[in-house]
Structure 1
Amino acid sequence: MIEDDPAVRQGVVDVLQYAGYRTLEAGDGNSGLEMALAANYRLLLLDLVLPGHDGFSILKELKKRRPGQPVIILSARGEEDDRVRGLSLGADDYVMKPFSVRELLARVDAVLRRTCERAAPAQKRPVPGGEVDFAESRIAYDDGSSEELSEREAGLLRYLLESGGRVVSRAEILRHVWGLDPDRTETRTLDMHVMHLRTKLRDRDQSFLVTVRGKGWRLKT
């Protein structure tokens, strides 16, 4: 949660912790932006009027760096232009202050259901010339041959398949597949895993697992 009013921030944090959530908190826009970009979390609760970076600039930068990150704006600013701007920048919900505890928890639960509680991923998915079986960490090809996948290769392939053809950055893969802080991690190991996965996919011409220079990788769907 990024909120500069200590009483509001502590009240919301207490409610969330009582409901079973673990929380992170920041009291200004500068430390809030740093936390929002670096930490691992499922949902950001964001005030708009903050010292340092305001909520709109935090939201804009967050969606540029972590486009899939769920966000709920909590604000006393209820003008239509503010609501439209916040939702247009990628917020998942906009809650007006003052709000009740029940309303806040209902909104939090609703956004988490939409963004995090998806159906269990399929264990078998088609790839060019065959099928990957994630339960067995193996690619079975139509000609009867197969390729074994390491745990990291299988995780990388699954994440790329579930990204629906969008470009996935190095930082996103390191954060969500490797579970590492991308700012403190050497990324050459990631390039090696991509190269090995491409070999096992028999994708010599990079027609399936595509490198997008300066941005990351995507799978052509």
Structure 2
Amino acid sequence: MHTAATAAQGRAAALGTDWDVLLLDLALPGGDGMDILAALRAARRHQPVLILTARGAEAQRVQGLRAGADDYLVKPFSPAELMARIEALLRRSGAKAQPLGGRVRLGAVTIDFARRSAQGPGLDANLSPQEAELLRLLAERRQQVLPRSEVQALLWPDQPMDLESRALDMALRRLRDKLGDAGAQLVTVRGVGLRLDGVEEVA
């Protein structure tokens, strides 16, 4: 465990080490914690960030989450709630990819990664490289939540964060349309990330 008393110390610590979880206070001497968060995400550092702050307005919470925080906790809070949120972040960030074969099934729809296709009753769709890779990333986690920031960095590594976010939203809309009823298994967990439910491997 490491603590930083000022914004400058916090920025150096956040960027200098790959922490398991970062607890970020927004009201720091010498600066704003939001600037540290922006620098962290701009540097493609994707460790989980939990904001701790007295700024509890809805617009402020939304701003923090959209800026790249994985969770947001308003003061005052109990130690038990803080620990529960840290444990949840560790579980999510510790999700390990499980190797897949060439095909998986979502309900009645079969996804073929090599052919980049989705086929099922009344459905025969071609997938773009990003759409197929997005499905593979989520399928490898088997119903675990993958943070949006991680998905964006993996699929669009060379784009600014705001463009990455729009590209991901568009890819999700297209995928859900192409998958038909199975698109409901592609779940957005608000403020956290994405999850693919009901994945079955096809022999």
- What TM-score, normalized by structure 2, do the two folds share? 0.48
Of Structure 1 and Structure 2, the greater strand share is in 2
Which of 1 and 2 has higher RCO (CA within 8 Å, sep 6+)?
A: 2
TM-score by length of 1: 0.46
Q: Which of the pair has more CA radius of gyration?
A: 1
